[in-house]
Amino acid sequence: MVHRSMIKEIDISELHVGHFVVDIVKQENQFTLTQSGHIKSDLVIKNMVVKGVQSLLIDTRKTKKIKDNSTKINKKSPIIMDVYKAKEIFDQSKSIQKKIFSDAQNGKPLDLNPVEEITDKTIDEIFKNPDALACVINIRNTDEYLLEHSVSVSVLITIFARFLKIEKPIVQQLSVGAFLHDVGKIMVPEKILNKPGKLTDDEFTTMKTHVNHSIEIIQNTPGISELSLEVAALHHEKLDGNGYPFNIPGDKISTYGRMISICDIFDALTANRCYKDGYSHIKAFSILRSLAESNHLDQRLVNLFIKCMGVYPVGSLVELNSNKVAIVEQRNLEDPTNPKVRSFYNSKQHNYVMTEDIDLANNNDFIVKGVRADDFDLDMNKIIEFLLMEG
């Protein structure tokens, strides 16, 4: 007897929990499946719709009843549930940042309204759940550093300010200042801005002028607050008085100026760029501590920032003693070195594996080291897609 193939194409509107997806047929973007598999929650379907998937191939022989446990995941794993909403905010922020840079380059006054609207939205999201946006900072494009850095520093200072219990009206001004702090870089020649090697003395002198340009542009922005201008102006000043552009002594640098310096350096250290890979979070924390010991950064605030982000920040990757690679999903405030993680990859066999939720405080597994997706030739976007598909 000849068996008729049970592989059929269906519209995304026909896709249900329990279907076994073989491949994507039609779509608006370039979304790809990490592997074939069952649809385990409505969240996965919604994600595909957002990604522009229009039709798929399913194997009807493998359809099975699966209880959609999205509510359960929501309680246990907010990062996976909220990451795409957070990414949408991050992408909106980048679009606004792009317009800001364009206006600055063309000598137009900056429109503060969209900046205030998106930072307000970011603040609301962070005050509800800081972990999702902290995770999104790890999903970056190496060729969009200039745009993403300012957005990320704005996110980081908001997360830090929330941790320090700073009042929301102040947080809003800090967030706007951080969002605009590097706008002057658009005036720096690209060959200096993106030079892979060490800058010459003359090139570094030119690079340092970006702060002066930022100050001038922000000063000419209608409706800008003094505090927003202040944090942008202070982001490269050092407590030993050897920062730039004004060599301001430490006792004249406000708490807010000290905060943005930490956030700015942390993001610069951890971000991938077209010419260099970023450091792991643990390595970046070590460098921040070293800079504090050298009296460049405020030691008390550096320690608080590390406590705020967590020894292993949500959204960062870790390698376990069992060769599992996992994403940190929930911090453990009582035992910071043993967070809750979700494993998804085997570092020895170099392949994705069935996901497993692991509470390291109650498990024989332990963290060997913090790692980056690049260490295993992986892509953070693909990792998040895989985690969503696994439900």
154-172 in b/e form (b: 16+ CB < 10 A) is: bbbbbbbbbeeebeeeebb
Per-residue model confidence (pLDDT) at position 242? 96
As a whole number, mean pLDDT of residues 327-334 equals 84
Q: Which residue has the higher pLDDT, 91 or 386?
A: 91
CA distance 257 to 379: 34
pLDDT band with cut points at 50, 70 and 90 for residue 180: very high
pLDDT at site 80: 59
Give residues with Cβ within 8 angstroms of 293, minimum separation 6: 299
Asked if pLDDT for residue 301 goes beyond 90, the answer is yes
pLDDT for the residue numbered 391: 58
pLDDT of residue 318 exceeding 50: yes
206/281: higher pLDDT: 206
Residue (of 187, 226, 181, 177) closest to 107 by Cα position:
187
Look at residue 77 and tell me whether its pLDDT is greater than 80.
no
- Where does the pLDDT of residue 45 fall: very low under 50, low under 70, confident under 90, or very high at 90 and above? confident
Instruction: Check residue 50 and give its pLDDT.
Output: 67
pLDDT level of residue 75 (50, 70, 90 thresholds)? very low
Checking if the pLDDT of 270 tops 80, the result is yes
What's the whole-number mean pLDDT along residues 355-377? Answer: 90
Least-confidence region, from 14-23, 72-81, 375-384? 72-81
- pLDDT of residue 278 exceeding 70, the answer is yes
Q: Over 90: is that where the pLDDT of 162 sits? A: yes
Q: What is the mean pLDDT of the chain?
A: 88
Tell me, what's the pLDDT at 211? 98
At residue 343, does pLDDT exceed 90? yes
What pLDDT is recorded for position 2? 39
Judged by DSSP in three states, 221 sits in coil
Higher pLDDT, 85 or 96: 96
Note the pLDDT of residue 258. Answer: 98
Q: What are phi and psi of 335, to 5 degrees?
A: -140, 80
Domain boundaries, the chain: 7-66, 73-309, 317-390
Task: Using a pLDDT cut of 90, give the percent of the chain over it.
Answer: 55
Structure tokens at 205: 């002198």
CATH value of 73-309 in 3.40.309.10, 3.90.1150.10, 3.40.50.2300, 1.10.3210.10: 1.10.3210.10
Band (143; pLDDT cuts 50, 70, 90) = confident
Per DSSP, the three-state class of 146 is: helix
| E strand or H helix that includes residue 24 | strand 20-27
Lowest mean pLDDT among 64-78, 158-172, 185-199, 271-285: 64-78
Residues 6+ apart with CB under 8 A from 387: 80, 327, 342, 344, 355
pLDDT in tens, 202-226: 999 999 999 999 999 999 999 999 9
Assign 30 a pLDDT band (cuts: 50, 70, 90): confident
Choose among 264, 101, 272: nearest CA to 185. Answer: 101
Note the pLDDT of residue 169: 96
**Residue 275 banded pLDDT, cuts 50, 70, 90:** low
The pLDDT of residue 76 is 43
Sheet with 367-371: list strands edge to edge.
Answer: 351-359, 340-346, 324-330, 317-320, 367-371
pLDDT of residue 43: 72
How high is the pLDDT of residue 72? 41
Q: CA-CA distance, 37 to 40, in Å (whole number)?
A: 9
Residue 47 reports pLDDT greater than 60: yes
Q: What would the DSSP string read from start to end of 172-213? A: HHHHHHHHHTTGGGGGS-HHHHT-SSPPPHHHHHHHHHHHHH
Report the alpha-carbon distance of residue 154 to residue 381 in Å, rounded: 22
Mean pLDDT throughout 49-68?
80
Residue 243 has pLDDT above 80, yes or no: yes
Give me the pLDDT at residue 78, please: 45
Burial of 294 (0-12, 13-18, 19+ CB in 10 A): exposed
